[in-house]
Amino acid sequence: MRPFLPRPARSLQRSVHSVVACLLLGVLDATAQTADLTDLNFEDLAAIEVSSASKFIQSAREAPSSVEVLGREEIRRYGWRTLSEALASFTGVYITSDRAYEYIGARGFLVPGDYVSRFLIMIDGQRVNDNVYEQGIIGTDFPLDLALVERIEYVPGPGSSIYGSNAVFGVVNVITRRAQELPAATFATRLANDGWREGRVTLARQLDTGASLLLSVSERHKGGRDLSYNDPNGGLLLLGGGVSPDGVARDLDRQRSSQWFVRYEDGPFSLTARLADRTIQPSSALYGTLFNDAGLRLRDASSSLMARYQKQLSDSLGIDARLERGAMIYRADYPYDDGAGGRYINHDDTAGVWWNGDIRFFHTGLQGHKIVAGVDAQVDQQARQSNADVGVAINTPVSVDVRRQRRAVYLQDEWAFAQRWRLNAGLRYDSFSIGEQTTSPRLGLIWLARTSTTFKLLTGRAYRVPNAYERDYGGGTYNVANLALRPETIRSRELVWEEQLDRSSHLRLSVFDNTLDKLIVQVDTGGGLLQYQNQTGVQSKGVETTWRKSFEGGAQVVSGLSVNDTVDASGQRPGYSPSWVARLRGSVPWSGSPWMLSSELRALAATQYTQGGNSQRLGSQVQMNLALTTTRLAPGLEALLRIRNLMDRRLAYPGTEEAPVPALPAEGRVWEVGLRYAF
């Protein structure tokens, strides 16, 4: 059996040389050609407009954040299939997985298995995080096909002054394309040698009334495969109390998912519906279940119906009002040994339904001021969590339905108090029915020193209230509720320098200092009873740098490096916190042909972490991906050839506390081919 733990970092240099060679292979040819650089999406930072940093459209240069943007052209060139793959290209961001869900870390902090609740994930400015786990879904459970994405905006650092809870480490806003920007009909498919089969149909129509309609349906299926696990501590349990002799999970990691997206737009009014439904049979034997047992089955689904009204009421006053009904379900079957030679199923059933409303005004009537003021509220209609054995009574059943309400007001002002100076000040007040009241300030001083030079001094405070699972789930055999759980908070200071080196080259340097207090973690209180409790704080300091360059022939290069020093009160690195994260990606036209060659290199430092109460170490993780794309294979026909983990490195993810082994195997080399036809 081949071990899956990574090789030492000494091959990082060879991988860097490989990716650089691939990127530069056609640069001389590329620079000799001409191209429409308006499709590059990041050529001139001053021309890029973002809306996620302040809830109104502003240039990225003037935004109170070191905001990063990925455009649809980059998404297409690199062939990213999931939101998590795209997010992994941002500076300082890294992704882990327990082979059921994916988790995002940034600036040196990630708690494996934390439900991504410390990031706020949005689609068109509307939060995706649910009302029970407050989970930020980013993997194959994300409810939107990336082919419908216009751009992805990543705002690192605290964002609670505008968005409230969950915007602790950052805000991700996925902005969709409009019907008038799409072909009338699109058919797409993608196949991979790891068993993935995907298909998508998108229809866009302009109605005679002037309204527009967009409908997109995506279906995905993944067949089962064999996968080998390294089990140094005997955690891969079999029926009867034995341990797997070979560590091979057979014909698992099956998955089936669907995504529906519908939007009707008529002037200032729009109605958007989305639905995602996924079933997965992970091979990782999570939650202490039996290994190599197809009875472990997880189903998650989410839906949203949102009405939105946007209108410029006058030259100086605009309104943006939303009303959403959101819903989620999580249903899971866990196979266990009953201790008497038999097998039983433990069943989880979680359902959440909520109403969310937000109305905000944007005012520019005062000279030098851009003011955003709004109110935001959410009311739970259902927040049910239940767990029970099927047909037996081994564990104590759990049934909890604690519904919450949240109300908030916020105010933000961008004040141009001098020709080259901006002061961005924001304040938000939230009140929760569970007895919490929180105030979140933010302050940003921006100096437009020269046409090409910008300095930003940023500070803010953000928070995350304990979610319903952390606070209220209890009464069963293993879980104890904690109604005294307090919100965790982060205080952040950041200095940003941005330099437009020339029309097509940009450099960003950021120095940050984050202090996280009252961190919410699950602890063993004795006798196997688990409870979420507030722990001591975490300090994270570091430096991030990003360099972007585009060439006249259409070639691009982007590099990013994030270095941090992150420690808890005991002086240890918390969670899974690599001391450095490096990124290098680029694309070049292929020797004068209509094909575009794109490559990306992702690297993480070797890292210590804790799993199962024991200290573990995961070696450096280096992955190289390659994509070959064209938009002109034939009229209306696009093609994709992509190889993930080109060097077939033995990669791994850190094991969560729910995993039976210290490290979980990642995929080896995977080939993908895709076709898209539009008319």
Q: Which residue has the higher pLDDT, 309 or 42?
A: 309
- Position 613 scores a pLDDT of 83
- If you average pLDDT over residues 592-612, what whole number do you get? 93
Domains of the chain, earliest start first: 9-678 (2.40.170.20)
Q: What pLDDT, on a 0 to 100 scale, did the predictor assign at position 46?
A: 54
Q: Are strands 437-450 and 505-517 parallel, antiparallel or unpaired?
A: unpaired
Whole-number pLDDT of residue 34: 33
193-210: average pLDDT = 96
Indicate the average pLDDT of the chain.
Answer: 91
Strand pairing class (538-550; 621-634): unpaired
pLDDT above 90 for 410: yes
- In the sheet with 68-71, reading across from the earlier edge strand, the strands are 68-71, 149-156, 170-176, 119-123, 126-127
Among 320-334, 389-403, 523-537, the least confident range = 523-537
Cα 50 to Cα 41: distance, rounded to the nearest angstrom: 12
Instruction: Quote the CA–CA distance of 458 and 491 in Å, as a whole number.
Output: 11
Q: Which residue is it, tokens 């929180």?
A: 438
What would the pLDDT profile of 356-380 be if each residue is shown by its tens digit? 999 999 999 999 999 999 999 999 9
From residue 190, alpha-carbon distances to 258, 272, 323, 639 in Å are 14, 26, 35, 10
pLDDT value for 552: 84
**Contact present, 125 and 306 (Cβ < 8 Å):** no
Provide mean pLDDT across the span 124-147: 96
pLDDT over 70 percentage in the chain: 93
Q: Which of 326, 318, 304 is nearest to 359 (CA)?
A: 318
How much is the pLDDT for 37? 30
Which residues, 6+ apart, have CB-to-CB distance to 24 below 8 Å?
A: 588
- The pLDDT tens digits of the residues spanning 608-660 come to 999 888 999 999 999 999 999 999 899 999 999 999 999 999 999 999 889 99
CA dihedral 135, 137, 140, 146 (to 10 degrees): 160
12 has a pLDDT exceeding 60: no
632 vs 638: CA distance, rounded Å: 6
**Structure letter (DSSP) for residue 573:** P
Q: What is the pLDDT of residues 328-357, one digit of tens each?
A: 999 999 999 999 989 999 999 999 999 999
Q: From CA 105, how far away is CA 359, in angstroms rounded? A: 31
Residues pairing with 220 in the sheet:
198, 257
Q: How many CB atoms lie within 10 A of CB 594?
A: 12
* φ, ψ for residue 647, nearest 5 deg: -85, 5
Q: Mean pLDDT check: name the lowest of 107-116, 234-243, 278-287, 439-448.
A: 107-116
Which whole number is the average pLDDT over 275-290? 97
pLDDT at 44: 52
Question: CB neighbours of 582 closer than 8 A, spacing ≥ 6?
Answer: 560, 561, 562, 601, 602, 603, 604
Residue 447 has pLDDT above 50, yes or no: yes
47 — pLDDT class (breaks 50, 70, 90): low
pLDDT bin (cut points 50, 70, 90) of residue 531 is very high
Q: Are 566 and 574 contacting, i.e. CB atoms less than 8 angstroms apart? A: yes
Whole-number pLDDT of residue 5: 35
Within 8 A by CB and 6+ apart from 339, the residues are: none
* Cα–Cα dist 589/606, whole Å: 35
Calculate mean pLDDT across residues 486-513: 95
**What integer pLDDT is reported at residue 6 of this predicted model?**
36
Look at residue 41 in the predicted model and tell me its pLDDT.
Answer: 39
Cβ-proximal residues to 418 (8 Å cutoff; 6+ apart), any chain: none
Token pair 């605009």: residue:
318
- Percent of the chain having pLDDT more than 90? 83
Residue 50 pairs in a beta bridge with: 58
Confidence of residue 536 (pLDDT cuts 50, 70, 90): confident
- Of the candidates 80, 81, 132, 136, the one whose C-alpha atom is nearest the C-alpha of residue 106 is 136
How far apart (Å, rounded) are the C-alpha atoms in residues 607 and 208? 59
Work out the pLDDT band at 308, boundaries 50, 70, 90: very high
User: What tens digit of pLDDT does each residue of 215-259 get?
Assistant: 999 999 999 999 999 999 999 999 999 999 999 999 999 999 999
- Coil, helix or strand at residue 38: helix
Work out the average pLDDT over 302-316.
97
